Amino acid sequence: IEQTLSIIKPNAVKKNIIGFIESRLEQARFNIVAIKMIHLTREQAEGFYAEHEGKAFFDRLITFMTSGPVVVQVLEAENAISRYREIMGATDLSKALAGTLRYDFADNVTENAVHGSDSVESAEREIAYFFANNEIF
């Protein structure tokens, strides 16, 4: 069974749709095995997105991710990483398929409502970035 790190980003938290997103994930039979709400510091956000350092959108991304609280959570399911990315939809909202979370809730390519790990290695790193082992059920 696989785990992935999910973030409900600041624009989605501001829209008051945390429950709506969780409901969709539960309907898709993901188990939420860890969850917390936090307001990322710049240092935390930069460390989390270190792979994007130096890219043109990096500063915009960090400013956005620190603009308000986020929900970070660990989702567990068979093929959780790829299945959750399907449910999120494409990074660029204009390419996201109807019915995906980003199609419904993204405001633009940066403020795209949700994050999901993109590989087994990044899932392990990202889960450990936010959660101690005894916070994951």
Task: Indicate the residue among 20 and 57 with the shorter CB distance to ligand ATP.
Answer: 57
Active-site position among 115, 117, 123, 126: 115
**Selected binder of ligand ATP within 104, 118, 125, 136 (CB under 6 A):** 118
Output the smallest distance, CB 118 to Mg ion, in A.
5
Q: Work out the end-to-end distance of the chain between its first and last CA atoms, rounded to an integer number of angstroms.
A: 13
Output the smallest distance, CB 111 to ligand ATP, in A.
7
DSSP 29: T
Our finding on whether 21 is near ligand ATP (CB under 6 A) is no
Task: Indicate the residue among 7 and 34 with the shorter CB distance to ligand ATP.
Answer: 7
* Burial class for 136, CB neighbours closer than 10 Å (0-12, 13-18, 19+): middle
**Phi and psi (nearest 5°) for 101?**
-60, -40
Edge-first strand listing for the sheet containing 114-116: 31-38, 70-77, 2-8, 114-116
Our finding on whether 44 is near ligand ATP (CB under 6 A) is no
**Selected binder of ligand ATP within 18, 32, 91, 125 (CB under 6 A):** 91
52 tagged catalytic: no
For residues 137 and 133, what is the distance between their CA atoms, to the nearest angstrom? 9
